[in-house]
Structure 1
């Protein structure tokens, strides 16, 4: 699986919650036009690390329990890793981290948009 390194330097412009967690990410090139406009969709439980070293296990569709994910708003992606099994690990400025492991039965995450190659991690990491 190709690592979506184009996300490095992207800022979280929007967070949306329902039965999924959606993060809209964008970055401008030096000319001021968008070089990346992407959406990360999370459909299964994930971990969010905060700058104090605390990890929050979050699950889409749980309403107010997703409040820690609001801290990603306006954060900038500083690192991207994708393991062979499809797990995604994003690091952000100010020490935030997002980890999404593959799920045995459901699509765990997907990435789409302009300036990036689309990715979808299906059941079992396929």
Structure 2
């Protein structure tokens, strides 16, 4: 899944993918797949989930049952994934759903690993570390 540098953010090609797998522990891992490619987004700190008429702030370190709203995203097609160079992330899914995460002051709040070998990591305090497929 190629990524495009747009100056202030990277745009990852997620058209044609669907959220096919979720893993919950002390983080929430979302796996987007399509024929010929996949990527895994893991969120390790509080993130926002916005949907039609609703907004939740979800924290993977809290009681796992509190993450229930994110389960409704399973099998939804992805529309857009932007990784902002200041450490923010936005994943848009169909029907107006969005997951957004900000950088954490002390920790790596999220990371993305693509099967191409590309990797993005939100740095503590802001910013993003990026390794391309050939790194």
Question: Structure 2 length as normaliser, TM-score?
Answer: 0.80
Please tell me whether the aligned partners of residues 6 and 115 of structure 1 are also in contact (alpha carbons under 8 angstroms).
no
Greater RCO between the two (CA within 8 Å, min separation 6)? 1
Which of structure 1's runs of 4+ aligned residues deviate more than 4 A? none
Which residue number in structure 1 is paired with residue 53 of structure 2? 53
TM-score (norm 1): 0.86
- For structure 1, list consecutive stretches of 5 or more residues without a partner in the other structure: 29-33
User: Deviation at 1:124?
Assistant: 1.3
More strand per residue: 1 or 2? 2
**1:19 and 2:20 equivalent?**
no
State the Cα distance separating 1:87 from its structure 2 match: 0.3
Q: Structure 2: which 5+ runs fail to align?
A: 128-135
1:9 partnered with 2:10? no
Single out whichever of 85-94 and 111-120 deviates more from structure 2. Answer: 111-120
Write 1 or 2 for the structure with the bigger share of helix.
Answer: 1
**1:10 to partner: Cα distance:** 1.5
1:104 aligns with 2:111: no
Query: How far did residue 113 of structure 1 move?
Result: 2.7
CA contact (8 A) 2:28 2:44 kept: yes
| Distance in 1 separating the partners of 2:58 and 2:92 | 17
